[in-house]
Structures are given as C-alpha cells and as structure tokens.
Structure 1
Amino acid sequence: MKLGKVQQLKLVEKGKYLWATDGEKEVPIHGEMRGKDGEMRDVFLYRENNGQIAGMLEAPFIQVGEVAKLKVVAKSKIGYFVGINAPKDILLPFSEATERIAEGEKYLFTMYVDKSERLAVSMEIKDALKSNSPYKKGDRVTGTVYHVGKSGILVAVDDTYDGRIPKQEMKGIYHAGDTVEVRVANVLDDGKLTLSLRDFAHVQMLQDSDVLLGLMDEMGGKLPVGDKSDPEEIKRLTGLTKKAFKRAVGKLYKEGKAVPGPTETRRK
C-alpha cells in the first residue's frame, strides 16, 4: 500500500464498517462515498492524526509527486493546513512555505511523504514540474505564478510545465498564486519555456501607443522622456522598455499624433 497515492484495493464489509485490502494489509475507509463488499475500487491512502493509515473513495485534489493549486484553510503553530478533499487537511510546514501566503487563498503545491511517514505539502514545486509541454514559440498560454524573484517570475504553465518570465519582460506587480496569460517567447533545449507578458510586436505596439497617448493626456500633453532618456526612467514612467517606447512613439509620429524629442514627447 502506498501512502498518498490512489490504488486499486478490494473492499471488505465488517459489520457497519468498510475496509479495503491489498490481500495483506487492511485499512478503514472514511469519507462519505461508500462501496460494496468484494468490489475493486480506487482508494486514496492518508494517515490520520492518531497515526493510523486510512483510505477514502473520493478522488483527492493531489497525489504524492503531483502539483496542484490548493486552498490554505488554516494556520497553526507549526505551519499551515491545506485542503486536498480528504477527511484530514495536509500540513504545509513553515519551512516549506517559500512565499508569503494567506488563509483562504490558493497556491501551487506538491505533496510528499515526510520523515515521520506523514503526508505534507511544499511550495518548492520546480522539480515536480514537467518540461515536455506541447507548446511552441508564439503560443498563448495560461499559468500560475509560483515565485517572484530578482531574475524574473517563475510560472507553472497549465499548472504543469516549467516556465519563466525574464526580469526584462516583467510588467506590473505579481505574487505567488496569481494567474497570468502569457506568450511563449522561446522553448529552450531542455524543454523549459521562456515566457513574455508582452504580445507580438505589431499587436503590442498598438497597445503601447494607446498607453502613451493616455499618459500624455494625463500630463497636460507632454511626457518628460524622449529618444535620449535613460531606459530606467522610461520604464519607471511608462512601464515600457526603451525599445518598445521608441517603437510606439514612432507609430504615433507617423499617425500625426505625437512629436518625439531627445528628452520629451509631446501630444500633437
């Protein structure tokens, strides 16, 4: 019998109670779903507070080695508890809570068997993610943020595949648990995905030019950045890279909507 896994076991009725057996060991069945004596059923095994292994016929939200988005249901002195659709919630030790989390919110976790032979979950999911996604460069995908660091944003595409938004592509403020819609910018040799929050250049340029027009209107028709301005200042003021800024300004200039300059851009 494997703890934290769904496995085929035979049901055995003992008076009012239902048990499951693999032919050698027996475990009690808890939960609301019931079965009949002699049936072969999928059974998920977990350990109760008293240390006894028990089973349930309901499908869990996660199994050992998998990654799933789960809700944090409570906080205790030793960590948080996460719901997995079992009679007993599973512990997230403080040492495995790598991001700031809050009760009632959902985050990505992987489940494992700890040193005391009990089920636990961790936010260290990178090694549990796959790198054989079906996606190619240019595809639009959806994923969940699982870490925000100095090098970029780590994203689990489809909550399954390993992806990263590089630092230079970061736009806006994101936290672990956020859902993002991104574009596959590149598929690396090891199968991992490089992602972008920005759209294809011709589509993004339309969006960026609208952003600049809105900013100029808010600032009385003039932006205090131009062709020769520092890239960091352009980024701080507009949220755009210098390359994207110049591309959007060029579009507005061709349309007769703006006049570029070395250190400022004016509404026309």
Structure 2
Amino acid sequence: MKELGVISTLPINRFTDNGAYLALSDGNELLIPKRYLSGEEKEGDLKEVFIYTDSEDRPVAVTDKPLALLDQFAVMEVKDVTSIGAFLDWGLEKDLFLPNSEMRQPVSPGDKVLVVVCVDHRTSRLIAVSKYEDFILSDTSGFKVGEEVSALIFDLSDLGYKVLVNGFYEGLIYANEVFKPLEVGDTVRAFIKKIREDNKIDLIITPIGRQKFDEGADHIYDKLKEDGFIPLTDKSSPEEIKEAFGMSKKHFKQCIGQLYRKKMIVIKEDGIYKV
C-alpha cells in the first residue's frame, strides 16, 4: 500500500456505522473510524488522512498527524520497554514499535531517542529504527560557512550537542558556545561554522560575523524599547548576561558597543538606558 506512512487526500466511498471507507489508489478501501469524522461529510468528499496499522495490525486512516512520516526522523519519548523492544510516543493513539533488532542502544522509559520511521516488510507495519547512521546523508558539499540551517538536538556528547541538520545530516553544537538552555528534542536555528573532513558539520547558534552583532543588538534594543532600562553593563558578570540574553559577555559588549556608537543608548553605572 503506497499510502502507508504518509499524508494522503482520499475520497469517501461509502459510510458505515463504524465510520467511512476511503478509496485507495489500488482500488481497495480503507476505514476511517467515526471519531475522525465531523458528521457533515458526504460521499465523494476528500479527507486528508495519515495511514498506519491499528493494534491488530490492520491498516487504518486517522486525521491525527504523527511526529514523523515514513522515512522521516524525529526525537520520540520511550513510553514502555518489553522483552522484544520499546514503544515510543509519536503523537498517535497507537505507539510506534522500536524492535530490539533495530535499536542502536538499550533504552528506558522516559528516554528521548532519535529514530527514523520505516516499513517492516515482514509485517507490513510501520516501525522505528534508532540506528540512525544508516540513514544519514554524507554529502555536505552543498552547505557553506555561515548558512542558516535547522538543527534538531538528539543527543549529548562530551563536546556538546549532537544535532540533525535540515532533517538528514549530522552536526555538532559545542557546549562552550551555547549560552541558553537546550534539551534533546529541541529544534533551533543554527549557522554552519565548519564542514569537517568526516563530512559532519560544526554549528553555532548565533549568526557569524556582522549579522551576529546586528541581531544581538536588535535583541537588546527590543528589550530596551519595552522597559527603557536594562540593569546590566559591560562590567556585569557573564552569568547575569547569559541569563538575561542567552549570549556571552564578549558578544554582549560588542552589541552594546554597536548601539552606543549609533547613539541609541546611554551606559551608566547602574545599567543601560534607551536614548
């Protein structure tokens, strides 16, 4: 069934007491349970649905959307662990099964795990695979230093945060360059710092170069426009600055220096004032 694991828009063929049957591309029908219908549908109407298998491994259509579709990555929380594998919360009524054979390392309830959604061709049902290295793309030649990307944090290392870049590439954000709380499962805006020889990507979450100062300065000035005053100066501690603006003291000093040179702020002993 080519519709398995993806979002499809299908016509309603007929209604039953249990719901409605949708027409599939191969000529077969598929049930969408009554609880996913508004009661105003008619035969021939189109429904946007996600198709997976229910608790009895029968294909079923639902209007709920999962965290990831077929062949997509997501960080999912482990809900239960059994002798044959783990069950993950992916936003649907039936949890997603992660078999032991597809598990990168043992997991426990509450863990957050990076997985890719696949079809188990033996059972024709959707499963999770946490051996993510088999699905990561390695050709990073299309990226350039300074480019803005999306970074999904999926693990921690001794150096920092392992991330999935734009959905398919592996990268790293160094812990000593992060000045705000980050957690596994967060998706953040990041910028390419370096392409390594092993084709992995080093990232930074503040823009590189002049843009870095412009955006940081805008962030500080927006706060000044709200309150007219910030109880920080270039002599404030790095901890106070990090808590207030999520940036390093060096970055903060560069930003307020830029605002000062533009005569947009006044720096006094007790803090910064908007001109």
What TM-score results when the alignment is normalised by the length of structure 1? Answer: 0.58
Partner SS state of residue 101, structure 2: helix
Residue equivalent to 1:72: 78
Offset, 1:150: 8.3
Distance across 2 between alignment mates of 1:171 and 1:178:
20
Asked if 1:146 corresponds to 2:154, the answer is yes
Alignment deviations for residues 134-190 of structure 1 (CA, whole Å, 9 cap, x no partner)? 8642457663343556898642135x1413339xx5659xx9936477652224699
The residue identity in structure 2 corresponding to 1:6 is: I
* Residue in structure 2 matched with residue 186 of structure 1 by the alignment: 194
Instruction: Confirm or deny that 1:62 pairs with 2:64.
Output: no
Q: Could you say which residue in structure 2 is the equivalent of 1:28?
A: 31
Q: Is the 8 A contact 1:74 1:103 kept in 2?
A: yes
| Deviation digits for residues 219-245 of structure 1 (CA, Å, limit 9, x no counterpart) | xxxxxxxxxxxxxxxxxxxxxxxxxxx
Whichever residue aligns with residue 143 of structure 1, its letter is A
Residue segments in structure 1 that go unaligned for 5+ positions in a row: 204-209, 212-268
| Structure 2: distance between partners of 1:133 and 1:81 | 36
TM-score by length of 2: 0.57
**How far apart are the structure 1 equivalents of 2:61 and 2:194?**
44
**Are the structure 2 counterparts of residues 11 and 94 from structure 1 closer, same or farther at C-alpha, using a change threshold of 3 Å?**
same
- Out of 35, 44, 58, the position equivalent to 1:38 is 44
Alignment RMSD? 4.4
In 2, Cα distance between equivalents of 1:31 and 1:153: 44
Report if the CA contact (8 A) 2:10-2:48 is conserved: yes
Q: What does residue 267 of structure 2 align with?
A: none
Question: 1:84 and 2:90 equivalent?
Answer: yes
User: 1:147-226 to 2 correspondence within 5 Å?
Assistant: 147=155, 154-157=162-165, 160-165=167-172, 177=184, 179=186, 183-187=191-195, 193-195=201-203
Paired with 2:153 and 2:100, the residues of 1 have a C-alpha distance of 20
1:15 alignment partner AA:
T
* TM-superposed deviation, 1:90: 1.2
CA contact (8 A) 1:31 1:58 kept: no
Q: CA 1:200/1:100 → structure 2, altered by over 3 Å: closer, same or farther? A: farther
What does residue 12 of structure 2 align with? 11
- Residue 130 of structure 2 is matched in structure 1 by 123
Corresponding residue for residue 50 of structure 1: 56
> Structure 1: how far apart are the matches of 2:47 and 2:142?
32
Aligned partners of 2:85, 2:207: CA distance in 1, in Å?
40
- Segments of 5+ residues of structure 2 without an aligned counterpart are 213-236, 239-275
The aligned residue for residue 272 of structure 2 is: none
Give the AA of the match of 2:11: K
The count of aligned residue pairs is 206
Identity among equivalent positions (%) equals: 22
What's the counterpart of residue 245 of structure 1?
none
How far apart in 2 are the matches of 1:156 and 1:64?
A: 17
Which whole-Å CA distance do the structure 2 matches of 1:142 and 1:42 have between them? 27
SS of match in other structure, 1:32: helix
> Residue 28 and residue 149 in structure 1: after superposition, are their counterparts in 2 closer, same or farther (change >3 A)?
same
